[in-house]
Copies of this chain bind each other. A is one copy, B any other.
Amino acid sequence: MPLFQGLSAFPITPTDSRGRVDTDSLGLLLERLHAAGVNSIGLLGSTGGYMYLTREERRRAIAAAVRSVGGGTPLIVGVGALRTDEAENLARDAEAEGADALLLAPVSYTPLTEEEVYQHFSAVAQATDLPLCVYNNPGTTHFTFSNALLERLAAVANIKAVKMPLPRDLDFKGELERLGRGAPCHFAIGYSGDWGAADALLSGADAWYSVVGGLLPEPALKLVRAAQAGDAIEVRRIDSHFQPLWRLFKEFGSIRVMYAAVSVLSLCEVVPPRPILPLTDADHRRVAEALDVLLGLEGGRSS
């Protein structure tokens, strides 16, 4: 399957409380994803806490990922930074360590103009030969792409895909048609926001950039495969098992829920980067219940 298609799984990046990456634990999490057969791994995405890691720690995480699954599952690596020169350096680091593709968000402190974001993306895209996915995530970057800007970016060499947030009106078909019209035909359009994945995929999105898929790839893959087979009833059945988790994602933010889930599943010892706090014990129990519902998912017609 080409890059930027299917299930792209976004794991957390295990670190100690000072932000040093636990490369062994990261390797274990990634091997689970590779074994399940995800189509790509989104390393150092928002769930992977890239903005909370130094350049050196990000480089260590990429090196560990390449050792763990390199050559097997494509690695799409987040290289967002506030400064353009820093993002360029992160892109070069990712290429040097063996990443397969880049993911770039317009991280902002001072609110950015469209021209500033265009030049930022052009500069980072030119810094390496790797294909680049535009990370459109207004909830964390506070920058909203216009369609016109996405079209300009889709015409830049190396920029091959966009990871979209869920459309406010949930009109995926309309948005996919609008974006597809202005972009080259090879430009891939995928979605994040796990609770909208079923609709996005059934509407023809190329990819699901998935938080839950970064920890529990099997049920996420079931959903993707049912959607790719056009089996809407099965997609809905699978999605119904995700509902308790989606509710927690909306309540706490998916990153906090995933840290709790890693802990509930006893996969490794992790704490989110402070100021982000772990969920309470009571909320850990709610996460455990949601995981029970999800892992109780039976194969159904498609399996």
A236 proximal to B (CB < 8 A):
no
Given the contacts A52-B109, A109-B51, A109-B107, A19 and B85 also touching, CB distance less than 8 Å: yes
Query: Which residues in B have their C-beta under 8 angstroms from that of A18?
Result: 85
Distance to closest chain B CB from A225 (angstroms): 31
Oligomeric state, in number of copies?
2
Which stretch from A64-72, A113-121, A260-268 is at the chain B interface?
Answer: A113-121
CB neighbours (8 Å) of A140 from chain B are 109-111
Asked whether A110 lies within 8 Å of B19 as measured between CB atoms, the reply is no
B52 touches A82 (CB 8 A): yes
Interface of A is mostly: loop
Given known contacts A51-B82, A84-B274, A274-B84, is B117 in contact with A139 (CB within 8 Å)? no
Nearest-neighbour CB distance to chain B for A191, whole angstroms, equals 19
Please report the C-alpha to C-alpha distance between residue A175 and residue B197 in the assembled complex, in whole angstroms.
Answer: 43
With contacts A107-B109, A253-B111 known, is A275 near B117, CB below 8 A? yes
In the bound complex, residues from chain B placing their C-beta under 8 Å from that of A255 are 110
Q: Does A274 contact B142, Cβ atoms closer than 8 Å? A: no
Report how far A96 CA is from B96 CA in the complex, Å. Answer: 38
B-side contacts of A274, CB under 8 Å: 83-85, 116, 119-120, 123
Chain B residues with CB under 8 A of A113: 277
A sample of 12 cross-chain residue pairs with beta-carbon separation below 8 angstroms, ordered by A number, consists of A17-B85, A19-B83, A19-B85, A51-B109, A83-B275, A110-B140, A110-B253, A111-B140, A112-B275, A116-B274, A116-B275, A117-B275
Q: Which 7 A-B pairs have the closest CB atoms?
A: A120-B275, A84-B274, A51-B109, A116-B275, A84-B275, A109-B140, A116-B277
